[in-house]
Structure 1
Amino acid sequence: MSILAALFTPATSVSLPVAKPTLKFAPLPIHLNVGLPSTICTPISFSTLRPGQQRGFPFLTLLAATGGGDGIIDNNNSGSGGGGGGGGNNNDGKNNNEGGEDNGDENAGSRNWEEALMLLSEAGRTLDSLPKDLAAAIRAGKIPPAVIERFLSLEKSAFMRWLMQLGGFKERLLADDLFLAKVFMECGVGVFTKTAAEYDRRKENFFKELEIVFADVVMAIIADFMLVYLPAPTVSLRPPIAVTAGPISKFFYSCPDNAFQIALPGTSYSFLQRLGAIVRNGAKLFAVGTTSSLVGTAVTNALINARKAVDKSSAAEVENVPIFSTSTAYGVYMAVSSNLRYQVLAGVIEQRILEPLLHQHKLILSAICFAVRTGNTYLGSLLWVDYARLIGIQKVHEENAALA
């Protein structure tokens, strides 16, 4: 008996926060629920670890991928408290696919997160050394490794490093490393192509309608930059929208910048969101077109009045350009024609067709983009002249002479 008593007498030891299993008996089959004290279940923030430390904790990578929680194990193997979005398995071993799409996005986001940390580790960088908006997007699993590689490459240039301090430029350069070249293409050829298009439509009346030609070119050059900037595909680094924002603001916030752009892994856009991108950019381009037209027509009218003051004989021939009707018409033209053409150009022709085919041949890709954008600019100038004459804000000089 003394021996038995010695075997079953609990030994005294130093007090440690050891897990004390709680046994709950139930009718057969027996269920064993184990509860661990909170003193040894303090969560570890994976995002605060350096890349070198993260490799030493493979189980933390698994938790980041599954969103593992603190749920208990039951006989249904449902993974209570596991990764959000994925359906659990029931007793019959059947998969519950409810929320499967969200689970796919989470898996892609987890892969982005893990691969991003490995890439930064190889480059000798940490998340703290990156811009805050980019680091936050990486933590959220929204940034694939290819985008991080592009950022590290662009950052080597002092000019690009300065330019990427501007949020809008950074989002577009990370999506397309030729974005800046396309801006220079568009604005550089704008003067020549638009002037050529004006001459093609006006022929011998080109110099007689020189003031109108000047107004058209000024409006076009001011708007050229925005026509490249607004519809360009982007890597979204925007902070979350305010909770108090209305449903319309939240909807347009979730829309891409280009209706046809390729969604990054872990991100998806619905048809309605892509349609919303066209509407949102159309509203912006309407404001840009109206404003640029106001500037252009104001300058034109100033030149016309100066010409009348110098040459009295031209006072009856040359009329001031109607400011408000021209500005509104140009805003509508940019919101519809320019918006759709540049959305298709940037999202379909360049990103979906040319970029995959010529990704390794940047010089050829740049040359073809130059040719395509030059043709698009010229076409836009032709369409504007026809549209302006159709709605009556610009009249052929011969008609005015005949009426006189």
Structure 2
Amino acid sequence: MAETVVKESGQDFAATKALEIDTGGGGGGSSNYRGYGGSDDNGKGGDADEEEEAYGPILNSEEVIREAKARGITLPVDLAEAARAVGIEKLLLFRYFQLQGALWPLGSAIKKSSMLRNWMLADPSFLFKLLIEVAIDATCATFAEVQKRGKDFWNEFELYMSDLVVGVVLDITLVCMLAPFVQFGGKPPPRGTMGRLSKALGALPSSMFEAERPGRGFTLYQRVGTLFVKGAQYGVVGFVCGLIGQGFASSIMTFKRKLKKSDEHEVAIPPILPTAALWAVFMAVSSNTRYQIVNGLERVVESSSVAKRVPQFAMAFTIGIRFANNIYGGMQFVDWARWAGVQ
């Protein structure tokens, strides 16, 4: 059995213990359950006693079922399979009980969305960070664009709306793709070159400064590699969102101008492809770097003794650092857009 793979932040979160189970001998069929990001080459030297102390005891299948029945809870398939295979850490299991029993809509969303559940199990403050990011981005983007566009703001309103919508979508992407997560089960990587590539990518941390844990370590090369891999991913997402957002804005501007006479002071309609390319470069270079740093700073604060005694300190820091990041990022994008000649 391979050790579980769980991605987590610097707080004392439980790790799952999951598994690669060979059901037959020889080179034939095997049934695999592997946490995403798993690597048998990293961090196998973690002491078992240290891991149990940090993440809590592992409950076997009977104990897991007993705890679930006592609360009238039916475990989802992947948790039930993990419990039967190798068990589940007590802290992780109890965190799931707490999350799925939360008030609507969170409790319902946790039951229906395994991805949201896995993010929240690894970092209970995930949803708070996501909502704060969206709220701050909408506010800060508006402030930054008003400041940068000045008297041309209303003439360029469609550009502002395009930037706002695309920016919010990209911010959600940034938060989610850099967030640590837990996964129960999963298909084994394919064999051959694709299998080796999948394994190498899976061994990377979710973000450059993700915390290590017993049984799960990262080399300097893996951390640096994460910066470039995430940059490439964000570049693709930025291009697609920029293409859609700018196409929408250009369509509105063209439609409005057909309804009224031409005005010599009207702002030129930005080209769609160059604008999408700018979004790709901005996401890959600026946003990726800034959000990696934000995640790293949040990890330092969350793992501090002050934050452990006063959780509100970490929440206040998250609000402050993300507020500053959005102000700077919003103003920087307008500067980049004008420098590139697309706005």
TM-score range, shorter chain: 0.7 to 0.9
Give how far 1:304 is off.
Answer: 0.9
Give how far 1:124 is off.
Answer: 4.2
Q: Give the counterpart letter for 1:354 in structure 2.
A: E
Cα distance change of structure 1 residues 277 and 246 upon mapping to structure 2, 3 Å threshold: same
Q: Give the counterpart letter for 1:194 in structure 2.
A: A
* 8 Å contact kept, 1:112–1:141: no
Q: Which residue of 2 aligns with 1:369?
A: 318
Give how far 1:226 is off.
Answer: 0.8
Q: Does 1:117 align with 2:65?
A: no
Q: Which residue of 1 aligns with 2:164?
A: 217
Q: CA RMSD in A?
A: 3.4
Give the Cα–Cα distance (whole angstroms) in 2 for the partners of residues 117 and 175 of structure 1.
18
Give how far 1:238 is off.
Answer: 5.1
Give the Cα–Cα distance (whole angstroms) in 1 for the partners of residues 55 and 145 of structure 2.
52
Q: Give the counterpart letter for 1:153 in structure 2.
A: Q
Q: Give the counterpart letter for 1:266 in structure 2.
A: G
- TM (normalized to structure 1)? 0.64
Give the Cα–Cα distance (whole angstroms) in 1 for the partners of residues 218 and 168 of structure 2.
32
Q: Which residue of 2 aligns with 1:20?
A: none
Q: Give the counterpart letter for 2:302 in structure 1.
A: L
Q: Which residue of 2 aligns with 1:325?
A: 274
Give the Cα–Cα distance (whole angstroms) in 2 for the partners of residues 130 and 122 of structure 1.
9
TM-superposition CA deviations, 1:209-250 (whole Å, max 9, x none): 223222211211221211211111223445253241432222
* 8 Å contact kept, 1:142–1:267: no
Match of 1:163 among 94, 105, 109: 109
Cα distance change of structure 1 residues 167 and 275 upon mapping to structure 2, 3 Å threshold: farther
Give the Cα–Cα distance (whole angstroms) in 1 for the partners of residues 60 and 188 of structure 2.
30
Give the Cα–Cα distance (whole angstroms) in 2 for the partners of residues 141 and 255 of structure 1.
24
Cα distance change of structure 1 residues 248 and 175 upon mapping to structure 2, 3 Å threshold: same
Q: Which residue of 2 aligns with 1:226?
A: 173
Match of 2:245 among 269, 285, 296: 296
Give the Cα–Cα distance (whole angstroms) in 1 for the partners of residues 86 and 120 of structure 2.
19
TM-superposition CA deviations, 1:159-194 (whole Å, max 9, x none): 444333423222211121111111111112222210
Give the Cα–Cα distance (whole angstroms) in 2 for the partners of residues 129 and 338 of structure 1.
41
Give how far 1:366 is off.
Answer: 2.3
Q: Give the counterpart letter for 1:156 in structure 2.
A: G
Q: Does 1:351 align with 2:296?
A: no
Q: Which residue of 1 aligns with 2:135?
A: 188
SS in 2 for 1:266: coil
* 8 Å contact kept, 2:56–2:89: no
Give how far 1:317 is off.
Answer: 2.6
Q: Give the counterpart letter for 1:371 in structure 2.
A: G
Give the Cα–Cα distance (whole angstroms) in 2 for the partners of residues 143 and 351 of structure 1.
25
- TM (normalized to structure 2)? 0.74
Q: Which residue of 2 aligns with 1:383?
A: 332
SS in 2 for 1:314: coil
Give how far 1:136 is off.
Answer: 5.8
Q: Which residue of 1 aligns with 2:99?
A: 154
Q: Which residue of 2 aligns with 1:174?
A: 121
Cα distance change of structure 1 residues 122 and 302 upon mapping to structure 2, 3 Å threshold: closer
Mapping for residues 60-75 of structure 1, pairs under 5 Å: none
Match of 1:269 among 218, 221, 233: 218
Q: Which residue of 2 aligns with 1:38?
A: none
| Unaligned stretches of 5+ residues in structure 2 | 1-40
* 8 Å contact kept, 2:145–2:153: yes
Cα distance change of structure 1 residues 362 and 108 upon mapping to structure 2, 3 Å threshold: closer
Larger radius of gyration: 1
Q: Which residue of 2 aligns with 1:255?
A: 204
Q: Give the counterpart letter for 2:297 in structure 1.
A: I
Cα distance change of structure 1 residues 305 and 102 upon mapping to structure 2, 3 Å threshold: closer
Give the Cα–Cα distance (whole angstroms) in 1 for the partners of residues 119 and 323 of structure 2.
21
Mapping for residues 34-53 of structure 1, pairs under 5 Å: none
SS in 2 for 1:102: coil
Match of 2:258 among 284, 303, 309: 309
Give how far 1:275 is off.
Answer: 2.4
Give the Cα–Cα distance (whole angstroms) in 2 for the partners of residues 228 and 146 of structure 1.
24
* 8 Å contact kept, 2:60–2:83: no
Give the Cα–Cα distance (whole angstroms) in 1 for the partners of residues 341 and 302 of structure 2.
39
Give the Cα–Cα distance (whole angstroms) in 2 for the partners of residues 160 and 206 of structure 1.
38
Q: Give the counterpart letter for 2:178 in structure 1.
A: P
Cα distance change of structure 1 residues 303 and 170 upon mapping to structure 2, 3 Å threshold: same
Cα distance change of structure 1 residues 330 and 120 upon mapping to structure 2, 3 Å threshold: farther
Give how far 1:308 is off.
Answer: 0.9
Cα distance change of structure 1 residues 281 and 237 upon mapping to structure 2, 3 Å threshold: farther
Mapping for residues 2-17 of structure 1, pairs under 5 Å: none
Cα distance change of structure 1 residues 113 and 261 upon mapping to structure 2, 3 Å threshold: closer
Give how far 1:290 is off.
Answer: 1.3
Give the Cα–Cα distance (whole angstroms) in 2 for the partners of residues 126 and 253 of structure 1.
31
Mean alpha-carbon deviation: is it higher for 353-362 or for 250-259?
A: 353-362
Give the Cα–Cα distance (whole angstroms) in 1 for the partners of residues 265 and 325 of structure 2.
37
